[in-house]
Amino acid sequence: VSKEVAPHGVGTVDDYAINQFRIFDIEGKSIGVVRTKSGYFALLNRCPHAGAKLCKGRVTGSNLPSDPDVYVYGFRDELVRCPWHGYEFELATGRSPFGTTRARAKTYEVRVTDGSVEVLVPSAVRGERG
């Protein structure tokens, strides 16, 4: 079984309100696509902690204690907060900032061409490659 990455159309830039996830069924997976001030991001709609619908969570930043020894990232509008237990994951990488959990959300590449938004999702391909 080899993996082939295929682009899947998920609307146009006009369909996206800032920080509002849109949920799609792609290759049998629920995938959320969101536009933020930093660009477009796509995540598997499943929290790696305990399986909540992660993309039902809010796009947010992180409030940090202001310890002078700590480099404060802020992460403003760069995280999604899981609706179940509040773990946060970076939209760009799926990582949990500050190592709150080692679990990592699954992310997908998004590209925008002439106003059309596409998510690149690997599909399981059996047999010879086309």
Q: Please give the residue ranges that form the binding site for ligand FES (CB under 6 A).
A: 47, 49-52, 82, 84-85, 87
Sign for the pseudo-dihedral over CA of 22, 43, 84, 63:
negative
Taking alpha carbons only, the member of 7, 9, 10 closest to residue 22 is 10
Q: Select 82 or 91, whichever has its Cβ closest to ligand FES.
A: 82
Residue 78: CB minimum distance to ligand FES, A: 17
Residue 118: CB minimum distance to ligand FES, A: 27
Sign for the pseudo-dihedral over CA of 88, 94, 100, 101:
positive
Q: Select 75 or 84, whichever has its Cβ closest to ligand FES.
A: 84
Q: Select 8 or 49, whichever has its Cβ closest to ligand FES.
A: 49
Q: Select 35 or 49, whichever has its Cβ closest to ligand FES.
A: 49
Calpha distance 105→95 (Å, rounded)? 6
Calpha distance 54→41 (Å, rounded)? 13
Residue 2: CB minimum distance to ligand FES, A: 31
| Tokens describing residue 78 | 């760069």
Residue 15: CB minimum distance to ligand FES, A: 26
